[in-house]
Structure formats: structure tokens, C-alpha cells
Amino acid sequence: MMDERAVALSDFAQEKIRVAILRAEPGAPVWSAGHDISELPVCGADPPRDADPMEAILRAVRSFPGPAIAMAHGSA
């Protein structure tokens, strides 16, 4: 899911979309940023390696040319 969101942010930037709102599907009881907890580094190394999915989405959000808003609802 995180890879898909990173690609979407890149596509939005190319299409000159000025703001991105990250949200769950309508009716979802839990909001998720898309990180699979099983993908967390086992050793707890800091900083995360470049291939880490969480680091990839953080880079995508930082490089997006407009605001990226998390529309959290339900439990998170």
C-alpha cells in the first residue's frame, strides 16, 4: 500500500495536482498510513535503510510540491 501511495504522490506532482489528501476508504473503521507492521525493521536500526517502505513514503511526502494532508478518522 505504501508503494502505491508513493507512486500516486509522484503522479499527482507530474499532473500538477496542488494538494494530496491521504485517507482511508469510505466507511473504513480504522485509518492507516499504509504501513504493514510486519515491515518494521527487526533490529530497530535508526535511521531506516533507504529501501524501507516507511522511508520511501516519507521521501515521497517530503518531495511532493504541495501540502500532503492525512485525513485520519476512526481509530488510527
The model's pLDDT over 3-61, given as tens digits with 9 standing for 90+, comes to: 888 899 999 999 999 999 988 888 888 776 556 667 666 665 665 566 677 778 888 99
pTM: 0.68
Residue 69 contacts residue 18 (beta carbons within 8 Å): no
The label of the residue with cell 524501507 reads: 52
- Largest Cα–Cα distance in the chain? 39
Helices (H) and strands (E) in the chain, counts: 2, 2
Q: Which residue has the cell 499527482?
A: 12
Cell of 42: 527487526
Please state, in angstroms and rounded to a whole number, the distance separating the CA atoms of residues 17 and 28: 25
